Amino acid sequence: MELKEVLLKRRSVRKFTEETVSDEMIEELLHAAMSGPSACNKKPWEFYVVTNSQKLQELKEASMFTKISSKLAIVVCGNLSRALPMKMAEYWIQDCSAATENILLRVTDLGLGAVWCGIHPQKKAIEKVRRILDISESQVPLNLIFIGHPAEEPEARDQYEEKRVHYIK
Ligand X SMILES: Cc1cc2nc3c(=O)[nH]c(=O)nc-3n(C[C@H](O)[C@H](O)[C@H](O)COP(=O)(O)O)c2cc1C
Tell whether residue 71 is a contact of ligand X (CB under 6 A): no
Tell whether residue 149 is a contact of ligand X (CB under 6 A): no
Contact 60, 10 (CB under 8 A): no
Contacts of 10 (CB under 8 A, 6+ apart): 104, 105, 107, 108
The residue (of 3 and 168) whose beta carbon lies closer to ligand X is: 3
Residues numbered 10 to 29 that lie near ligand X (CB under 6 A) are 11-12, 14
Tell whether residue 9 is a contact of ligand X (CB under 6 A): no
Judged by DSSP in three states, 70 sits in coil
One-character DSSP codes across 118-133: E-TT-HHHHHHHHHHH
Tell whether residue 117 is a contact of ligand X (CB under 6 A): yes
Tell whether residue 65 is a contact of ligand X (CB under 6 A): yes
Tell whether residue 70 is a contact of ligand X (CB under 6 A): no
What is the spatial distance between Cα 5 and Cα 110, in angstroms, rounded to a whole number?
Answer: 12
Tell whether residue 98 is a contact of ligand X (CB under 6 A): no
Residues that bind ligand X (CB under 6 A): 11-12, 14, 65-66, 115-118, 154
